[in-house]
Amino acid sequence: MSNISIISGKSSEDLAIKLSSKIKANLVKSEIRIFADGESKITLNGKISKKKSVVLQSIYPPVDTNLIQALSLISKAKEISSEVIAVIPYMGYARQDREFLPGEIVTMKVLGKLFKGAGASKVIAVDIHSLIGFKHFNIKTKNVTAIPDLVRYFKKLRLKNPLVVSPDQGGKERAREFAREFGIEYIALEKKRDRKTGKVQIQTKNVDVTERDLVLVDDMISTGGSIVKATQFLKKQKCKRVYVACTHALLMNNAENEIKKAGVTKIVSTNTIPGKTSVVDISDTIAKSIV
């Protein structure tokens, strides 16, 4: 038996299969039964290594269900393995990393306690929304980026005079990194979001993007509001095609249709969250972070 086990949560099963073959690990799959009241009953199939286990589970919707399943898998792994690494490709709750308005609970603080309590010795995430969230964890943490994987995909497309665009100033570093890896320029738009209503407005006046193909880069897309507003603005500036590159495509409600309707040619995301747009595999990047 291998010295390392990959324990696959249901939310990341395809990724776990790819990862286990890459690092030649023993794959332990989980069977989930959801009771009528929403409770999860988990049964593991396979032998867990006594040495090291890697629990792989993304925390996307249903967020609380996937979180409880992740913690349950970690707890079971800890009963057998001396070391348990939790790989959470998409870390739900990462936006709740500080108190923005008085009385708000910093849920990442709670997650830090839960992961430690369940028995994880290390937590690895892919492009976590904010690194501040990991400061609330009292165990080892690591954030890896999918940017090189995404850039490799975009380099294969025949883009005309491409330019990387961040939909806001908060994503400026990400856009810079993406552009540097690509070997092209980048710009960052100014946006304003109402903290209470969540409504987005683009405050940038004009940018020269005439006849250029644009790659709008973000870490995650939930409802797609920022992407829609940015695309509408850029289309008015006479750009050519608009592509979207993101690590995590949640695409809640009707987000994908709204984004396409705004004029986006293609949404490209990774398999941290499985779906139609997740055409970029990040199992190599995760493998390097474990071994």
Any idea which residues carry the catalytic annotation?
191
- Assign 69 to helix, strand or coil: helix
Whether 155 contacts 178, CB under 8 Å: no
Instruction: Please give the helix or strand (H or E) that residue 215 lies within, else none.
Output: strand 214-221
CA 255/CA 109 separation, integer angstroms: 29
Buried b / exposed e along 67-81 (16+ C-beta atoms within 10 A): bbbbbbbbebbbebb
**How many other CB atoms are there within 10 angstroms of residue 162's CB atom?**
22
**How many other CB atoms are there within 10 angstroms of residue 7's CB atom?**
31
- Assign 161 to helix, strand or coil: coil
Q: Which of 11, 26, 19, 24 is CA-nearest to residue 70?
A: 11
Name the token pair of 37.
């009241």
